[in-house]
């Protein structure tokens, strides 16, 4: 047990309290290069926002209100809630070399930088202009985003799952349990433990009695 | 049952166990090599006896890079199943886990990436949830019948460093006064440890004070930078 604990300690990444979280996950090589142990950076103050007020979701089309690509519209690829960031596809980019070798400069690619939520606005689908959005309830009781200017409901974006499964086209494999079997209720509450019930079904008779233990 | 709900659910696990015969003794008489010794029972209780083939996947999945698999069992679904079904499902999951671990080891040996390693996590999660459900049922029964919250008895004891902790009793064949190894354990704090306890307490109080002052400073800084935002959000 001690050896496995030691090995898992080496595998798990320790992040200090004042770690500055960037766009890279802490266990990746890029993050380790930017935040080596012992490096202290100035603390970032993130505007406090309630989790239920977050209106920009992955797959939404939004418009940038400030910065280099002001006025452009793009699709949201990634959202970082803890820093109030959104990453748009192909917008707010800077160019850098990737896969640099000793003799080659590597490939010159455009990499996106995150944008603050404050500099981004959801687009109203009716007139395709940026609009302020609030969460409201419909008559059915569904919670939806409503644009304050026109009053139109902004639908939730349909995003592809990361494992590529489309729910409507799913077919069970040979090892999958069918939905009917899974939802079938077979539990009958009784005053017997699992062991007693199984012994009864299998016809096991335990005649031995416990010896006195201390 | 809502049709959308059925289409929306895709679930893993179970070699069609619900439709199997529930009585193992019927299978026992005509399948297993019956030995004439009376209390001997065969290991298998199902019809499927593929032997070592059970450690390997279906032949059509050999060499694939990705194998399709459904979602793991949730605790809510497992709670609707009877104890017998849970017992059978545990062994189905265990065999599937052995299959996947064999696959993982062979992939390591051949220096090839394993196909769909997330299947092992799904099986592990299903097994953990199953155990949770079984423990819940047992705990409820125990509370009802005896009023005891914990299955394993214990006591609050003090260790050599002054920490008070919940010591869980171990089952021995001999009483404690005859147990030499147990007698070498000391559940009291010697007098010379008192200064260390005081220093540790001071350290803890200092850390706590630092944490509260840090929180106060961050809140005031946030209010200064974002005066319009409501501060108590996380």
pLDDT tens-digit readout, B131-178: 999 999 999 999 999 999 999 999 999 999 999 999 999 999 999 999
What number of other Cβ atoms are within 10 A of residue A61's Cβ? 16
User: φ and ψ at A28, to 5 degrees?
Assistant: -80, 160
Q: What is the average per-residue pLDDT within B101-106? A: 96
Please report residues of A whose CB lies closer than 8 A to that of B18: 177, 181, 184
Which residue from B minimizes the CA distance to A174? B15
Token couple for B27: 């299978």
Alpha-carbon span B59 to B70, nearest angstrom: 19
Q: Do A176 and B6 touch (CB under 8 A)?
A: no
Chain A closest CA to B194's CA: distance in Å? Answer: 30
Alpha-carbon span A124 to A148, nearest angstrom: 10
pLDDT of A187: 94
Range from A149-158, B17-26, B39-48 that averages highest in pLDDT: A149-158
pLDDT of A102: 87
Alpha-carbon span A117 to A82, nearest angstrom: 11
Q: Do A184 and B233 touch (CB under 8 A)?
A: no
Please report residues of B whose CB lies closer than 8 A to that of A206: none
Please report residues of A whose CB lies closer than 8 A to that of B173: 211, 213-214
Residues A184/B78, Cβ–Cβ less than 8 Å: no
Residues A104/A121, Cβ–Cβ less than 8 Å: no
Please report residues of A whose CB lies closer than 8 A to that of B228: none
Q: Do B175 and A165 touch (CB under 8 A)?
A: no
The fraction of chain A above a pLDDT of 90, given in percent, is 69
The fraction of chain B above a pLDDT of 70, given in percent, is 80
Which residue from A minimizes the CA distance to B82? A187
Q: Do A198 and B87 touch (CB under 8 A)?
A: yes
Alpha-carbon span B130 to B77, nearest angstrom: 10
Chain B closest CA to A128's CA: distance in Å? Answer: 28
User: Which of B8, B68, B141 minimises the CB distance to A191?
Assistant: B141
Residue B233 pLDDT > 80, yes or no? Answer: no
Token couple for B11: 């679930």
CB pairs under 8 A between A and B: 126
Q: What is the average per-residue pLDDT within A55-78? A: 93
> What structural domains and CATH numbers belong to chain A?
55-161 (2.30.30.30)
**Residue A83: closest CA among A48, A37, A33:** A48
Q: What is the average per-residue pLDDT within A94-121? A: 91
Alpha-carbon span B77 to B172, nearest angstrom: 39
The model's confidence at residue B231, banded by pLDDT at 50, 70 and 90, is low
The model's confidence at residue A17, banded by pLDDT at 50, 70 and 90, is confident
The model's confidence at residue B41, banded by pLDDT at 50, 70 and 90, is low
Alpha-carbon span A141 to B201, nearest angstrom: 53
Chain centre distance of CA A60: 15
The model's confidence at residue B15, banded by pLDDT at 50, 70 and 90, is very low
pLDDT digits (tens, 9 = 90+) for B107-120: 999 999 999 999 99
Chain B closest CA to A103's CA: distance in Å? Answer: 30
In Å, the largest CA–CA distance within chain B is 86
Alpha-carbon span A204 to A197, nearest angstrom: 10
pLDDT of A112: 94
The model's confidence at residue B42, banded by pLDDT at 50, 70 and 90, is low
pLDDT digits (tens, 9 = 90+) for B70-86: 899 999 999 999 999 99
Q: What is the average per-residue pLDDT within B30-52? A: 59
Which residue from A minimizes the CA distance to B92? A175
The model's confidence at residue B104, banded by pLDDT at 50, 70 and 90, is very high
Q: Do A186 and B85 touch (CB under 8 A)?
A: yes
pTM given for the model: 0.78
């Amino acid at each position: 047990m001690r050896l496995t604990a030691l090995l898992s300690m080496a595998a798990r990444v320790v992040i200090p309290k004042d770690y500055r979280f960037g766009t890279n996950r802490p266990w990746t090589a890029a993050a380790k290069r930017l935040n080596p142990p012992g490096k202290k950076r100035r603390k970032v103050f993130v505007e406090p926002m309630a989790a239920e007020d977050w209106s920009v979701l992955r797959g939404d089309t939004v418009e940038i209100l400030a910065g280099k690509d002001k006025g452009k519209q793009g699709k949201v690829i990634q959202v970082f809630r803890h820093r109030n960031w959104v990453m748009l596809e192909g917008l707010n980019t800077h160019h850098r070399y990737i896969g640099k070798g000793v003799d080659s400069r590597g490939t010159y690619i455009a990499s996106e930088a995150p944008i603050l939520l404050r500099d981004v606005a959801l687009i109203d689908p009716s007139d395709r202009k940026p609009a302020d959005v609030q969460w409201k309830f419909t008559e059915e009781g569904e919670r939806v985003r409503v644009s304050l200017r026109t009053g139109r409901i902004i639908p939730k974006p349909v995003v592809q799952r990361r494992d590529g499964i489309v729910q409507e086209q799913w077919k069970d494999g040979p090892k999958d349990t069918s939905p009917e079997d899974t939802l079938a209720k077979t539990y009958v509450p009784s005053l017997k433990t699992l062991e007693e019930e199984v012994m009864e079904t299998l016809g096991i008779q335990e005649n031995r009695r416990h010896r006195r233990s201390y | 049952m809502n049709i959308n709900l059925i289409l929306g659910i895709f679930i893993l696990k179970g070699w069609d166990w619900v439709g199997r015969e529930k009585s193992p003794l019927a299978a026992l008489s005509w399948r297993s090599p019956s030995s004439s010794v009376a209390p001997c029972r065969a290991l298998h209780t199902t019809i499927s006896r593929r032997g070592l083939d059970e450690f390997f996947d279906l032949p059509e999945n050999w060499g694939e890079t990705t194998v399709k698999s459904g979602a793991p069992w949730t605790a809510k679904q497992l709670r609707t199943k009877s104890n017998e079904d849970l017992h059978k499902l545990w062994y189905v999951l265990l065999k599937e886990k052995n299959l996947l671990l064999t696959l993982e080891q062979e992939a390591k040996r051949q220096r090839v990436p394993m196909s769909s390693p997330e299947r092992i996590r799904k099986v592990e999660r299903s097994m953990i949830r199953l155990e949770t459900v079984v423990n819940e049922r047992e705990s409820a029964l125990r509370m009802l019948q005896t009023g005891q919250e914990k299955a394993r008895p214990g006591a609050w004891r003090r260790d050599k460093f002054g920490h008070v902790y919940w010591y869980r009793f171990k089952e021995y064949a001999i009483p404690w006064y005859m147990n030499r190894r147990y007698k070498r354990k000391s559940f009291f704090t010697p007098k010379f440890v008192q200064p260390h306890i005081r220093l540790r307490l001071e350290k803890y109080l200092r850390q706590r004070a630092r944490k509260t002052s840090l929180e106060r400073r961050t809140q005031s800084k946030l209010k200064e930078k974002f005066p319009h935002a409501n501060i108590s959000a996380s």
